[in-house]
């Protein structure tokens, strides 16, 4: 004959807890009575409390959407920050979305569907001239991060005249990289009859180049190195050209009202960046790259890793010359872009704060744990 003492709110158990001398009875409607020791119950409550803590922690994380515009290895830091738990560690529940084309991504920032953009300076400047108030808060790419790859039969810049070049989007980072690359080798698309076509995805661009649908392409190392081994050629030396490519962009009003969230995101990204740059983590990073890009060729994945590590900015600050180069080129097509105050588009206050506190130095050591 037992007397009911209490109900314990253990999610998923829903049982009555009854003490009988040295034993504890867990009785549930419609289920046989089970007698267990008090020590076992203590362990059970401890585990349940842990599960409740995890559930509450998950509920307390701030949900944000991060959009990225390139399906290539230039997104490695973002992918690693998410896959290795650095966002979670910093109190964020992040949904990352691939949105083909930087201009389209910028549009989703404007509507509020995306909170943080992982994109380049070209579309950002294009949106700024249209009146959208954006801030670049960090940058992982301050020089061109793609190669200008051409078919095996094309060996000189002159042989590219009248041909077709594939880019991710018109007006995006890949487009600007191609335009600056053509300028470097002395070509002008209008004068030389070169057309640029948008494909949205570097994997698709690569296939189009292989099949001869296009004769040239602006693609990152994870794809370009494989093509080079197959006999395709590179024109120019694009990685020497200043260009803000992979940067972190937010709307000014979002930064003002959600500064703590942006700070947490930057902390997570810098921890992830340090993890990527630590040679000891190379195999783990390659695994993430392979998963995200659906790559089964370990050599190609290693190419992507090596290319990204070589070209990425190690500190995360914006190089102003990378924006000036975009402005110089774009103002020829829209004079109003020349009036934009580039310094006002950059807000590195959080990054400077993280630098001053010593956090960036610690993050770049690559030894941060996700726990």
pLDDT tens, 220-247? 888 999 999 999 999 999 999 999 999 9
Q: Which residues contact 301 (CB under 8 A, 6 or more apart)?
A: 222, 286, 289, 290, 293, 295
pLDDT of residue 173: 86
pLDDT of residue 162: 97
- Whole-number pLDDT of residue 28: 35
Is 87 within 8 Å of 81 (Cβ atoms)? yes
pTM for this predicted structure = 0.79
Return the CATH fold of 146-240. D-Maltodextrin-Binding Protein; domain 2 (3.40.190)
Average pLDDT estimate for 152-179: 93
> Is the per-residue pLDDT at 48 higher than 60?
no
Q: What is the pLDDT of residue 172?
A: 84
Element of type H or E holding 113: none
**16 band by pLDDT with thresholds 50, 70 and 90:** very low
The domain limits of the chain are: 6-58, 62-139+248-303+330-364, 146-240
Question: Which listed CATH number (3.40.50.720, 2.40.30.10, 3.40.190.10, 3.40.920.10) goes with 62-139+248-303+330-364?
Answer: 3.40.190.10
- Is residue 32 very low, low, confident or very high in pLDDT (cuts 50, 70, 90)? very low
Say if residue 356's pLDDT is above 70. Answer: yes
pLDDT digits (tens, 9 = 90+) for 101-149: 888 999 999 999 999 999 999 999 999 999 999 999 999 999 999 999 9
CA of 303: how far to CAs of 88, 111, 209, 224, 265, in Å? 29, 37, 19, 9, 28
């Amino acid at each position: 004959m037992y007397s009911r003492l209490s109900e314990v709110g253990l999610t998923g158990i829903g049982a009555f807890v009854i003490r009988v001398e040295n034993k504890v009875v867990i009785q549930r409607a419609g289920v046989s009575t089970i007698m267990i020791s008090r020590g076992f119950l203590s362990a059970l409550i401890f585990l349940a409390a842990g599960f409740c803590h995890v559930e509450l922690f998950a509920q307390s994380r701030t949900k944000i959407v991060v959009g990225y515009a390139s399906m290539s290895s230039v997104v490695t830091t973002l992918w690693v920050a998410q896959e290795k738990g650095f966002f979670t560690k910093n109190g964020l529940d992040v949904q990352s979305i691939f949105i083909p084309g930087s201009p389209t991504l910028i549009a989703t920032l404007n509507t509020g569907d995306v909170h943080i953009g992982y994109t380049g300076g070209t579309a950002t400047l294009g949106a700024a001239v249209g009146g959208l108030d954006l801030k670049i808060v960090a940058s992982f790419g301050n020089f061109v991060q793609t190669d200008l790859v051409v078919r095996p039969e094309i060996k000189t810049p002159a042989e590219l005249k009248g041909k077709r070049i594939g880019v991710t989007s018109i007006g995006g980072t890949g487009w600007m990289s191609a335009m600056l690359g053509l300028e470097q080798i002395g070509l002008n698309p209008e004068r030389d009859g070169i057309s640029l076509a948008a494909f949205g995805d570097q994997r698709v661009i690569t296939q189009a180049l292989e099949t001869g649908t296009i004769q040239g392409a602006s693609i990152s190392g994870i794809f370009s190195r494989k093509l080079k081994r197959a006999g395709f050629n590179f024109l120019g030396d694009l990685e020497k050209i200043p260009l803000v490519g992979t940067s972190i962009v937010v709307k000014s009003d979002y930064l003002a009202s959600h500064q703590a969230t942006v700070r947490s995101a930057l902390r997570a990204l810098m921890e992830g960046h340090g993890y990527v740059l630590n040679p000891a983590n190379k195999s783990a990073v390659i695994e993430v790259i392979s998963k995200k890009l659906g790559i089964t060729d370990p050599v190609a994945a290693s190419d992507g890793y090596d290319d990204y590590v070589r070209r990425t900015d190690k500190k995360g600050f914006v190089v102003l010359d990378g924006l000036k180069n975009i402005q110089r080129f774009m103002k020829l097509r829209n004079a109003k872009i020349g009036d934009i105050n580039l310094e006002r588009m950059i807000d590195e206050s959080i990054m400077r704060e993280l630098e001053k506190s010593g956090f960036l130095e610690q993050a770049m050591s690559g030894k941060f744990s996700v726990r």
